[in-house]
Structure 1
Amino acid sequence: MAKHTGLAVEKRDFSKNPRQLRAEGKLPATVYGHNFDSVSLQLDEKAFSMAYKGDKTVILELKGDGDTYNALVKHVQSNAITDEIYNIEFYNVKTGEKLKVSVPVAIVGESPAVKAGGILRTPQSEIEIECLPKDIPSVIEVSISGLENLEDTITVGDIKYPAGITPVSAEGILIVKVSSPTAGAAAATTSTEVAGLAKK
């Protein structure tokens, strides 16, 4: 089930530029959506960080000036070095309208192949799905208990999804693979050799 968290917002004060807002501890933001007129807002930076916590699946209830918007965080523009947030884009969600969202993968269970010495590799950490807002899961659980042999894999199409959830990511995308220890060692050796050649 989708998580909901309240967050106070204000209508955007365009008499101040984004840098001035950030100096006051506030962030400029935009809410947009399907058949929805975009709205410019501003909100407290610390309150946003506490409510969001990097979770793309949480529905934020943006409340202020008599209006309420249920929204997902679609994009956070920030400085790659300092992590300072510049701007936020929210997507307005509607109760009966399906939407697409990327959900983290959670590995569960134990793999016999891994217990026997295989190396578990997880090249993909998220899966894009489509569902109603009320059905957004916090994670997609992927059981590895069926991985009994080296080179066994799990793709997007192999996963059993909860009712109401349809994967959007291509079925063939690799989520989990059990590699042999020798393959891992060979890859590490190759990387070391390449690094050594680069220094010459």
Structure 2
Amino acid sequence: MQETGTINAEIRERISRGINRRLRRDGFIPAVVYGKGIDPIPITVKRTELKGILTRFGRSAIYNLNITGQEPWTVIVKEIQNHPVTEEITHADFQRISLTEKIKIEVPIKIIGRELVESKRLLVIQQLDDLTVRCLPTEVPKSIDVDVTAMEDGDVVTVADLKIPEGVEVEDDPEQIVISIIEAKEHAVEEEGTEESAESAETAVGEKEQAGS
């Protein structure tokens, strides 16, 4: 089982966009916790505390949620919303869970050996960042590691190729490509071709505009 972190929270007594904006200015994140047998509860958490604990334990970890005046709950992070420009956390969803019931959760895919492969003038293209799995909370892996050190140009890794811990069920398509290896020059040619196509399209549009004027 992963190491468990603790998130401290307080009930949000009042809910409105204006209040949420004020909370964010004051260093807090509006959030909600929901789960089987309970109504959604609006809460607030400190931004610095939430960012720090997510950095330390990760999005797929199991957390103890301490809401002031209540018994601690076991939760997972169901969703994090970020500002489109600053990427600061703007909202968080937590789901209350039971340690004896399976949950559906996304686990990050971690690449091992990228630097070695890229030193051979190859590019590691990651097409799937997270794997959707179902398992008991005590069996959620911190990450799914993929060792690419022995891979060569043209090699691919699919979901079916991943090493999955016992007790963990994968919900993604087994034929989904996770990682592919290509030569760096092929990637450069593709980008150059894309730029040339864009330039040709712009030229064609310009010629049409001149002809119509």
* Shorter-chain TM band: 0.7 to 0.9
Q: CA deviation at 1:190?
A: 0.8
User: CA offsets per residue over residues 124-183 of structure 1, 9 Å max, x none?
Assistant: 222111111111111101133553x53221100111211111111111110112224553
Q: Does 1:124 align with 2:113?
A: no
Partners in 2 of 1:20 and 1:137 — Cα distance?
A: 37
Residues 26 and 189 of structure 1, relative CA distance in 2, 3 Å threshold: closer
CA gap of 1:6–1:181, structure 2 versus 1, over 3 A, is closer
Distance in structure 2 (CA, Å) of the matches to 1:164 and 1:67 = 30
Offset of 1:118 from its aligned partner? Answer: 4.2
Give the counterpart of 2:82 among 70, 74, 78: 78
Render the CA deviation track for 1:23-65: whole Å, top value 9, x for unaligned. 4332221111234332221222221221123931122211121
Unaligned stretches of 5+ residues in structure 2: 204-213
Q: Output the CA distance in 2 between the equivalents of 1:175 and 1:127.
A: 9
Q: Which amino acid aligns with 1:166?
A: E
Q: How many pairs are equivalent? A: 199
Residue 94, structure 1, aligned to residue 98, structure 2? yes
TM-score by length of 2: 0.79
Pick the aligned partner of 1:24 from 4, 23, 26.
26
Given the two structures, how large is their TM-score scaled by the length of structure 1?
A: 0.84
* Range with greater deviation from structure 2 (171-180 or 184-193): 184-193
User: Do residues 154 (structure 1) and 157 (structure 2) align?
Assistant: yes
User: CA–CA distance in 2 between the matches of 1:158 and 1:184?
Assistant: 24
Partner of 2:8: 8
1:2·1:133 contact (CA, 8 Å) conserved in 2?
Answer: no
Query: CA separation of 1:183/1:15 partners in 2, compared to 1, >3 Å: closer, same or farther?
Result: closer
For residues 185 and 43 of structure 1, what CA distance do their matches in structure 2 show? 45
Q: Which residue of 2 aligns with 1:183?
A: 186
Q: RMSD between aligned alpha carbons?
A: 2.7
1:143 aligns with 2:147: yes
CA contact (8 A) 2:33 2:94 kept: yes
Question: Which has the greater radius of gyration?
Answer: 2
Which residue of structure 1 aligns with residue 44 of structure 2? 42
Richer in helix (by share): 2
